[in-house]
Amino acid sequence: MRRILLVDDEINVLNALVRAIRQHIEIPDLQIETFSDPFDALTRCAEVTFDLVISDYRMPQMTGVEFLHAIMEVAPDTVRMILSASTEFETVMSAINEAQVFRFIPKPWQVGDLRENIRLALEYRDTLHEQHQLADRQRVHDGTLSREELAIRKMEEEEPGLLKVNWGPNGEIIM
- Largest pairwise CA distance in the chain: 57
Specify the 3-state DSSP secondary structure of 17.
helix
Model pTM score: 0.79
Mean per-residue pLDDT, 110-117: 93
**Arithmetic mean of pLDDT, 134-144:** 84
- Give the model's pLDDT for residue 127: 93
In whole angstroms, what is the distance from residue 50 CA to residue 80 CA? 10
For residues 103 and 96, which has the higher predicted lDDT (pLDDT)? 103
**Cα gap 124→73, rounded to integer Å:** 18
Highest mean pLDDT among 11-20, 22-31, 66-75: 11-20
Report pLDDT for 149.
Answer: 81
Q: Which residues of 25-56 are buried (b: 16+ CB within 10 A; e: fewer)?
A: bebeeeebbbbbebeebbeebeeeebbbbbbb
CA 38 to chain centre: 12
118-133 mean pLDDT: 92
pLDDT at 120 over 70: yes
By the 10 Å C-beta count (0-12 exposed, 13-18 middle, 19+ buried), 133 is classed as middle
pLDDT at residue 164 tops 80 = no
* Whole-number pLDDT of residue 16: 95
pLDDT score for 91: 66
Is residue 169 predicted with pLDDT exceeding 90? no
pLDDT category, 150, cuts 50, 70, 90?
Answer: confident
